């Protein structure tokens, strides 16, 4: 199987996953969940929009919640570039790729570039935000899971290889991947910031947002977030975990927010910088992929996602030996 | 509903849950599990028997594993008495109750009293064991879940009220209990040592041993035990949790040992000493009884138990509105 | 050396350390410290008095702060009895001992008995308090060190053997003790509730209160209390630790409150119930008594204490080879 | 005060602190300390040399211990480059700077470049090492502090501004710094890998190595490392902490190894990627620089260091208002 090689000197410098924009029905309900359970800090509330950041983050926002009616959706996935020069270089690149880049004005961000990637995922890039004080040592004000910073997104797309190819050209490195027995890619973990993932693509109808993940300092904070969730009536929203991932090795918990958006808290990253580290290969049939220990995820964890606003969802194209949800669940059930 | 009042000056002084005797097929397999995952310390191996204690325990054993063929079973549930005088007083009491007490010689225990309680559960009592050095500060040798000491047993019996009545006369206090809407007792948590439980009885065919519980110092040790279990191939044996109990408030994980015996690790006890504290009442329909957060237990957690060796199992007697497993699982499934 | 044997059936049943009454200059300053750093819960504020309890405690109070001018002092050390009958039996005992017992009325306590023990320490006993809801699972409201419950007191007295003798007659068991090379007692750890200490006596001018200790669930809560203290300007009040005790094995931190009263947070208790466990002997010259690891305590930790209000302090009587603070500090300094 | 601006496109790509080479007297003594207390993994032992790596590291070594007689010393500080091309570009750069670069052969490393920086610190650079399996999920084999990966070095040098200037030209970014009241630089925290430090320079006679720091996942691992150290007889080697740093915000403990080399374990990093984040300024007189809470460091923490083998030590040059150790200690003592 031929996987893309890392591009050592990419055409522009994307530095990290930056922020996500979600629509929600009730800002007050969202505030209670994100502040008490997840432990994010409200930077600003303006024009029906809440801007949140993690307790260590000096950027203005990593989670943007916008009040809207209709099906809750994701409006944009954001990435940071190092400098304005990188943004300019990226515009040229995306234009050449036929991605229809556009400059836009976004509150509390520097010059911002909108692009739709070949999987249909709506992206935005910027190189600046207003600087806020890090609250990492404001210990008396930390709440719930103490979400420290945004880490990565997981997106379902019908053609994982196309995503891998495009993001590799932008300089993303493949850290881990999951394949079927006949070498069909089922998942790719891609990164820029030197640990396992900034963005993850999984095989499925898409593009759809599966979850946004925030890094949390310790295992105890995952347990605390669960306990706070349980004590405030969000117990049913603890959808999966605490458990341990195979790929990436992190301990995790998945929550559903009041609008059904899925938030992962996790910890225990490893560093992924040296270029001699080959991507880690996982077989989709390996039970350690999902469940080194702990209960299998509930069916809704596999099935339910957040749509991208205004973006059509395409089914995966036919392939020799498709992994169906039924087969996957059946295999897991047998194993347990 | 009339619940037994605590007997302030009981006829003899039972001090605590003491030890359990289980049969196993393969001592080497048991050793690996109990030493690496649960973190118990081997005090002695003699005559096809392993004697284990927790890292803080100064007593010779709290878990006894005896090699045997056939269905793995529990031979005895052990309780400690304060003194030899208490043992003698107990003998008289049990004789009067028709429990057929008998003095027996047991290795590594002082004079030992065998009794079968009215639920059919085989008990043994002693007031002395050889004293071993506590290993609580031998930090370099602690393993897995760092099981600190034995805490309690859970037994399924067809008549919970009879168990409550008999153990109350022996001086056990009721700390928490679970009832149906029409006030049928479904579970009682009984204690002598000043925290929520030394022995727990639940409604069901019995007597059968549901689990033995060891106290572990911190939430991190529950996670560590799961991680060690997963990394050594016992991942499937992590049967339920990590999660948070309603009654007793503890964080817990349930493991199945290589013979299928169920071991609970838990932490976060509260003190229960003052007599003005009324027993805590839980409704069996309250979702917080089992799952303030986290996934419902798997079916096998409800169904599978360890038999008492040579003890017949009786079904619960008919009652107006029985809680069936099917109804319980169905209710839980609806809730999730 | 002849140490008292445990009295298996004492004249009355003291169950545990219960509460302490301290005077403070500024209730608002005390509130901020005890609620944010220590994590106690305010049950009631009435008549210039704050009544606090730990997050698991169902009793009305374990710490009572009374506004007063003058040198901050301790008014009473409180112990619980099991029942009213025990209180009555105790009255007779203390009268016979010449301790001048007196019945008093105290808000939020049942009938209360005042006594001065032979060391001059003012005690009070009661068997009842109003019952409050345990807040152990109100996770969103837990603060700082999450103090769970009161555990013990440490008192300096000029004649440790006299304290040991008197408390043993009341049914306290000696769990650990510290002696000089010529077998002079320097410290005794005495308990009723089944773990290492309810009250500790150390050799020195007295009676004076060295500290009150609250149990906290995990090592992380000790670190959190320090971090909150540092972030709120109480950093200088972190007087000793985090460190590990020799006797009792607990991990600890000592704080000074705004009036200079010393509060210990600690965890990692062991159970001490079986009567065959001999008291643990420590030599005062053993460096592991105080410092298995970590920096030596500051001089003020040895020298500064809280006086008992209106109680004269006596110097220790002469003895063959006195342990002076200077000698002790010099020995420690050499070792480091 | 004029601080260097980050060089966005440096002449070559140094990616991270990589490894340190120390001499030790007794390999067996070193093994016990580094494996049991610090928790490093031995990759290879060859020719009187131990090669260690952290539990997550896929590189062959991050700590190299070489048996030698005489004063224990540091032979080299290692940095990683991204690629062989970067190494070649660096050679040219260092030649131009008069740093006398030299290609050398080092076991278990790709082509290696030796350089002495303007402060006299002996550096080595490579772009490749043999790849080893990460052991981050081999939970049953983790020991002591579970050191996860190397993070940074601290070096004392007589001219901090010269170090800042040279490392900035190599692409290091200044994350935090400490200055006197008259703006003399006392400490600079420099980084390449996106968190606060790969190398730190402090003002003092030098060049001398103050410590090497390993990242550890959680606060509990710092406590565990202390407990293991205490239980194995290394208690005196717990030189400072657990405590919380001002700059960098990390929780830390400093250990002295059997040869006196100082090892820091710490956790709680923040991400430092966005270029709009200005370096954080600290005043040397601010008590929160060193001690937001906890005891002041012992004198030996300030005075004792590891020499670089064969490198002469120069005293700091005269300056208007020198910070002497005596003044610093005196100020700290007053504060406590």
Pairwise CB contact (< 8 Å): A82 & D275: yes
Of A219, A229, A287, the CB nearest to B293: A229
Q: Which of C84, C60, C64 is nearest to C74 (CA)?
A: C64
Residues C148 and C232 sit within 8 Å (Cβ to Cβ) = no
- Write down the pLDDT at residue D117: 96
**pLDDT tens digits, chain B, 336 residues: what are they?**
567 677 888 999 999 999 999 999 999 999 999 999 999 999 999 999 999 999 999 999 999 999 999 999 999 999 999 999 999 999 999 999 999 999 999 999 999 999 999 999 999 999 999 999 999 999 999 999 999 999 999 999 999 999 999 999 999 999 999 999 988 999 999 999 999 999 999 999 999 999 999 999 999 999 999 999 999 999 989 999 999 998 889 999 999 999 999 999 999 789 999 999 999 999 988 877 877 888 777 788 888 999 999 999 999 876 544 445 555 455 445 444
Distance from CA of B294 to the nearest CA of C (A): 15
List of chains touching D (3+ CB pairs within 8 A):
A, B, C
Q: Which residues of A touch D288 (CB under 8 A)?
A: none
| For residue A322, pLDDT beyond 60 | no
Cβ-Cβ contacts under 8 Å for B267 (sequence gap 6 or more): B215, B216, B217, B218, B219, B221, B222, B250, B251, C217
Segment D147-167, tens digit of pLDDT: 999 999 999 999 999 999 999
Of B139, B140, B231, the CB nearest to D138: B231
Bigger pLDDT: A259 or D296?
Answer: A259
Q: What percent of chain D has pLDDT over 70?
A: 93
If one counts every other C-beta atom within 10 angstroms of the C-beta of residue A56, the result is 22
Q: Which residues of D touch A56 (CB under 8 A)?
A: 270-271
Query: What band does C251 get if pLDDT is binned at 50, 70 and 90?
Result: very high
Of C83, C134, C275, the CB nearest to B275: C83
Q: Which residues pair with C267 in a beta bridge?
A: C251
Segment B225-278, tens digit of pLDDT: 999 999 999 998 999 999 999 888 999 999 999 999 999 999 978 999 999 999
- In angstroms, what CA-CA distances link C266 with B159, B274, C245, D220? 42, 22, 10, 15
pLDDT, average across residues A133-153: 97
pLDDT, average across residues D301-321: 84
Pairwise CB contact (< 8 Å): D230 & C293: yes
Pairwise CB contact (< 8 Å): B144 & D140: yes
Q: Which of D257, D271, D273, D306 is nearest to D77 (CA)?
A: D306
- Does ipTM exceed 0.85? yes
- Write down the pLDDT at residue D165: 95
Residues D201 and D209 sit within 8 Å (Cβ to Cβ) = no
Segment D100-147, tens digit of pLDDT: 999 999 999 999 999 999 999 999 999 999 999 999 999 999 999 999
Q: Which residues of C touch D295 (CB under 8 A)?
A: 240, 295, 298
Task: Spell out which chain B residues touch chain C, with contact meaning CB-CB distance below 8 angstroms.
Answer: 8, 15-16, 56, 58-59, 80, 82-83, 85, 127-129, 131, 134, 136-137, 148-149, 193-194, 217-220, 244, 249, 267-268, 270-271, 273-278, 292
Distance from CA of C293 to the nearest CA of D (A): 4
Q: Which residues of A touch B227 (CB under 8 A)?
A: 244, 251, 292-293
Listed in sequence order, the DSSP H helices in D44-102 are: 84-96
Pairwise CB contact (< 8 Å): D298 & C251: no
Q: Which residues of C touch A36 (CB under 8 A)?
A: 140
| For residue D320, pLDDT beyond 70 | no
- Write down the pLDDT at residue A9: 85
In the predicted model, what is the mean pLDDT of chain C? 92
- Write down the pLDDT at residue C95: 96
Listed in sequence order, the DSSP H helices in A274-322 are: 299-303
Bigger pLDDT: C209 or A326?
Answer: C209
Q: How far apart are CA D120 and CA D93, in angstroms?
A: 17
Pairwise CB contact (< 8 Å): B193 & C193: no
| For residue D83, pLDDT beyond 80 | yes
Q: Which residues of B touch C274 (CB under 8 A)?
A: 15, 58-59, 80, 128-129
pTM value is 0.94
Shortest CA distance from B221: residue in chain D: D220
Residues B22 and B74 sit within 8 Å (Cβ to Cβ) = yes
Radius of gyration, CA atoms only, chain D: 19
Cβ-Cβ contacts under 8 Å for C306 (sequence gap 6 or more): C22, C72, C73, C74, C208, C209, C210, C260, C261, C262
| For residue C247, pLDDT beyond 80 | yes
Distance from CA of D221 to the nearest CA of B (A): 10
Q: Which residues of C touch A221 (CB under 8 A)?
A: none
Query: What band does A4 get if pLDDT is binned at 50, 70 and 90?
Result: low
- Residues of C92-122 as b/e, b for ≥16 C-beta within 10 angstroms? ebbeeeebebeeeebebbebbbbbbbebbbb
Tell me how many degrees the CA angle D65-D71-D74 measures, rounded to the nearest 5.
45
Q: Which residues pair with B189 in a beta bridge?
A: B176, B200
Segment A17-44, tens digit of pLDDT: 999 999 999 999 999 999 999 999 999 9
Pairwise CB contact (< 8 Å): B218 & D218: no
Pairwise CB contact (< 8 Å): A140 & C144: yes
Shortest CA distance from A227: residue in chain C: C139
Pairwise CB contact (< 8 Å): A231 & C140: yes
Which class for A9: exposed (0-12), middle (13-18), buried (19 or more C-beta within 10 A)?
Answer: exposed
Query: What band does C206 get if pLDDT is binned at 50, 70 and 90?
Result: very high
């Amino acid at each position: 199987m031929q996987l893309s090689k890392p591009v050592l000197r990419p055409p522009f410098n994307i530095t990290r996953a930056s922020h996500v924009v979600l629509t929600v029905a009730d800002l007050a309900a969202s505030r209670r969940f994100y502040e008490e359970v997840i432990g994010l800090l409200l930077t600003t509330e303006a024009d029906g929009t809440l801007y949140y950041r993690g307790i260590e983050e000096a950027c203005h926002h990593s989670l943007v919640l916008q009040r809207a009616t209709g099906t809750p959706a994701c409006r944009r996935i954001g990435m940071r570039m190092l400098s304005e020069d990188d943004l300019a270089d990226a515009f040229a690149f995306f234009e050449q790729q036929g991605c229809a880049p556009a400059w836009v004005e976004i509150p509390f961000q520097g010059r911002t570039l909108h692009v739709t990637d070949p999987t249909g995922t709506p992206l935005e890039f910027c190189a600046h935000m207003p600087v806020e004080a890090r609250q990492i040592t404001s210990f008396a004000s930390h709440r719930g899971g103490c979400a420290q910073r945004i880490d990565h997104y997981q997106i379902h797309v019908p053609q994982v290889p196309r995503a891998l190819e495009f993001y590799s050209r932008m300089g993303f490195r493949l850290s881990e991947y999951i394949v079927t027995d006949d070498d069909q890619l089922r998942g790719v973990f891609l990164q820029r910031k030197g640990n396992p993932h900034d963005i993850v693509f999984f095989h499925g109808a898409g593009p759809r947002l599966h979850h946004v993940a925030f890094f949390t300092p310790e295992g105890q904070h995952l347990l605390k977030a669960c306990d706070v969730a349980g004590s405030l009536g969000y117990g049913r929203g603890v959808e999966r975990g605490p458990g341990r991932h195979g790929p990436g090795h992190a301990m995790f918990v998945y929550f559903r927010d009041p609008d059904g958006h899925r938030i992962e808290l996790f910890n225990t990253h490893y560093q992924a910088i040296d270029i001699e580290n080959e991507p880690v290969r996982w077989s989709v049939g390996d039970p350690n992929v999902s469940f080194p220990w702990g209960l299998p995820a509930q069916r809704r964890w596999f099935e339910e996602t957040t749509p991208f606003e205004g973006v059509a969802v395409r089914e995966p194209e036919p392939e020799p030996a498709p992994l169906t949800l039924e087969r996957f669940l059946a295999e897991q059930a047998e194993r347990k």
